[in-house]
A = this chain, B = another copy of it.
Amino acid sequence: MKARIHITLKNGVLDPQGRAIASALHALGFNSVGDVRQGKYIEVDLAETDKGKAKAAVEQMCNRLLANTVIENYAIELVD
Contact = CB atoms under 8 A, between A and B. Distances in A.
Copies per complex of this chain:
2
B47 A34 contact: yes
Interface residues of A, number: 34
Contacts of A8: 41, 43
A45 B34 contact: yes
A45 B26 CA distance: 13
A57 B32 contact: yes
A78 to B, nearest CB: 13
B40 A41 contact: yes
Interface of A: 6-8, 18, 21, 24-25, 28, 30-48, 54, 57, 60-61, 64-66
